[in-house]
Amino acid sequence: MRVLLVGSGGREHALAWKLSQSLQVSAIYVAPGNGGTATLAKTQNVATAAEDVDGLAELAARQRIDLTVVGPEAPLVAGLVDALHAAGLAAFGPTQAAAQIEGSKVFAKRFMQETGIPTGRAEIFRDAAAAAAYVESLDDLPVIKASGLAAGKGVILPESKAEALAALRAILVERQFGEAGDAVLIEERLSGPEVSVLAFCDGESARIMPAAQDHKRVMDGDRGPNTGGMGAFAPSPLATPALIEQVEREVLLPAVRGLAARGAPYVGVLYAGMILTAGGPKTLEFNCRFGDPETQAILPLLESDLLEVMLACVEGRLARIQLRWSDAAALAIVLASGGYPGKYATGLPIRGVERAEAQGCAIFHAGTAVREGVLQTAGGRVLAVSTTGADLSEAAERAYAGAAEIEFEGCHYRRDIGRTAQHEAGAP
């Protein structure tokens, strides 16, 4: 089978790595891919942007693609799966209507309220003056969320009322996020550890993956600014069988059934961002895709053929397949450019990847490029060193040994990935 994989991050490299292990897969085109996806067996990068819906649909038709797998949320929310379906092509990912669960926080919050999915209280505003008056009336500081996709910057945790009012102005008046700021949610601020519960979905049923935790802050001990994710591990020790059963029963199955009832059956990966509050687990958000960097820690645990699982989702027979997961633990450490998440240089040579691989680590590239045969940095989060172990501490020991082999100027990474069950109170 010929696969088109859309995206260019560490998540997509991990997806390409796992898909390339399938005996059924003959070729994987990655659009646009990165320095890592360029080098895998069966893969080749194609210079079509992940947001170019028409270009991707044309590419899939021209290359006689059997299955398109969409990594990031933006093309899903923009309707890539609908465009592929219109061309008679199969796709793993939700349609535009179903992807609203991530693409519109207003839709997601109303949906959760209507279907009884546990979540924080929130009010929705389009008018800046009404939103400001509401913030003034609150006893506690809220979370402010732009409704649409805002490249991970649309969730604001103000430290004061003044900051909250400034955030409202930035979104609703100055339109810093464009159309994504047509509406805001002003939401109660919840506290507790966060767990990412992802499930494969076929429109009717959901099969849960090992729950993961990611590390959003740049520095050890959950200090410093938020990032796109500095590492992840799975399974989370917080995700007891009872918790997983509760999230399946109260969150994921109602979401899948609720979307089907609204005429938008959900096919793909549904990601429930859960916060474990004193009052029970609450849903912070849904994402319409695999997590990044959670995928780099979850897929090494999947023993089944990923292509088979994705086809079962697309063909509506997920409940009938065997899904095998390893009993091991997996952990991924993100190596970042000097200065990230602020300004950073690119084009710096990377050494030691082969040495880390020789130690049994999988190296998932994110911000890398190969120029004149030399692997170089090309982004803030450069790559992830991922490996498994009998338990989390063994996985961590192996992954840190692999990370120590890799060098580029300014390279930094957290030294405490997986060391504690994370409690990132207030992190979006």
Q: Which residues are at the interface with ligand GLY (CB under 6 A)? A: 214, 229, 287, 291-292, 294
Q: Which is nearer to ligand GLY, 35 or 72 (CB)?
A: 72
Q: Closest distance between ligand GLY and the C-beta of residue 214, in Å? A: 4
Q: Which is nearer to ligand GLY, 228 or 258 (CB)?
A: 228
Q: Closest distance between ligand GLY and the C-beta of residue 292, in Å? A: 5
d(CA 392, CA 394): 5
Output 104-112 pairs: Cβ under 8 A, ≥24 positions apart: 104/147, 104/148, 105/145, 105/146, 105/147, 105/148, 105/154, 105/185, 105/285, 106/147, 106/183, 106/185, 108/285, 108/286, 109/185, 109/187, 111/255, 111/258, 111/259, 112/283
Q: Closest distance between ligand GLY and the C-beta of residue 196, in Å? A: 6
β-strands 67-70, 91-92 pairing: parallel
Q: Which is nearer to ligand GLY, 290 or 400 (CB)?
A: 290
Q: Closest distance between ligand GLY and the C-beta of residue 172, in Å? A: 24
d(CA 41, CA 252): 35
Q: Return the closest-CA partner of residue 92 out of 306, 253, 259.
A: 306
Structure tokens at 37: 């996806």
Q: Which is nearer to ligand GLY, 60 or 211 (CB)?
A: 211
* Residue showing the smallest CB distance to ligand GLY in the complex: 291
Q: Closest distance between ligand GLY and the C-beta of residue 306, in Å? A: 18
Q: C-alpha angle with apex 255: 273 to 332, nearest 5 degrees?
A: 30
Q: Closest distance between ligand GLY and the C-beta of residue 245, in Å? A: 23
Q: Which is nearer to ligand GLY, 314 or 384 (CB)?
A: 384
Q: Which is nearer to ligand GLY, 142 or 229 (CB)?
A: 229
Outline where DSSP puts E strands in 341-380.
Answer: 362-365, 368-371, 374-377
Structure tokens at 115: 């279907």
